[in-house]
Amino acid sequence: MKQIIEFRMPEEKAEKLLQPSEGVCLGKSVRKLMLSMSDPLVKRITKIQKQLMERGDYLFLYSQVHYRYTQSEIQNADAFRLIIKHTFEPTGEQCGTIYDDSSACGYCGSGGQQISSLSLETQSLSKKSNLGIAKTIAGEVVVSQRFVDLFQDHNLKGAWFQAVRQRRNQAAVIPGWYQLLIKSESLDVVKPTLVGVNHFDAASIWPMNRGEISEKADANASWCDKHGQYRCPLGHTIGLNLLSELSVKKTEGAEIDIAWTKQKVGVRRGFLRPEPLLVISPLLWKLVLHQDLKGMAIEIAHTNHPEEPTPKRGQVSQH
């Protein structure tokens, strides 16, 4: 397995650090750079980022580690984290979907219950015939008719599907699209999973001192967001971002093809909500590839058996 780090930085900053041949310019304003984690340039970028952050500035806007697996590693995996690559807005809540947040966590804001059918803007959903899955920026997941057919035709376990309503006519459904609803038991996230802000500045900016209110926080943001605490004291939300491969506790004897994690990542801010991570079986991924469904990617998810020690809720390792 190889680890490749992706950086995206403003072009005016990239041109001072990089050669014109290094990276790819997206449009005219952002440079995308892909490097091996062992590349000396990664350390240099990290050092500059930390120096600039101390002055309230930054070098890169975004960083993400990508994993490159061998065919043998893929074949021997017993679970994958499904990454939904196609995201869109407006969110369901903006389109009339009703949530009951009376039982949501008072710290991180997670746990609100969707109490109506999902309503979305019809034009937000792709007309591409091979798109299998997508989600709103609030984490509401929808799947195509082809994905539903694949799941049901092969008697896969763990999910059911509900029609999506049209924003402007909620008596009508959006043809060909369904909300993905998980009925299997949620999986506990366990060590050595790492979560935090990002791979380089997590330790320096997380957490802020408890009680220190961020001036940038939205007035309607959760307690965690206002206090710069992206790890819920009650363990419902364990960090802002996943920073490693996912490890979960596997329920012995359970045969499921798709499941959410019990713990979530992200932040409650405006219409954004913390999201669970999605775990799928090798069989489901094999069928997705066979059907050439798009909009998703995978990382290997590691499973621990119940007899192995797991951290208490809220004690997942962090940067």
Residue-wise pLDDT for 88-114, tens only, equals: 999 999 999 999 999 999 999 999 999
DSSP secondary structure letter of residue 10:
E
315: pLDDT strictly greater than 90: no
**Would strands 159-166 and 99-100 be described as parallel, antiparallel, or unpaired?**
unpaired
pLDDT digits (tens, 9 = 90+) for 272-297: 999 999 999 999 999 999 999 999 99
Quick one: average pLDDT of 1-29?
93
Mean pLDDT of the chain: 87
pLDDT digits (tens, 9 = 90+) for 56-68: 899 998 888 999 9
Domain 1-68 in CATH 3.30.200? The answer is no
Worst-scoring range by mean pLDDT, 83-97, 110-124, 243-257? 243-257
- How far apart are the C-alpha atoms of 295 and 278, rounded to whole Å? 14
What residues contact residue 94 under an 8 Å CB cut-off, 6+ apart? 271
**Which two three-digit tokens encode residue 51?**
């120096």
- In the chain, where are the structural domains located? 1-68, 80-189+234-304
**Which two three-digit tokens encode residue 260?**
């959410």
- How far apart are the C-alpha atoms of 267 and 74, rounded to whole Å? 31
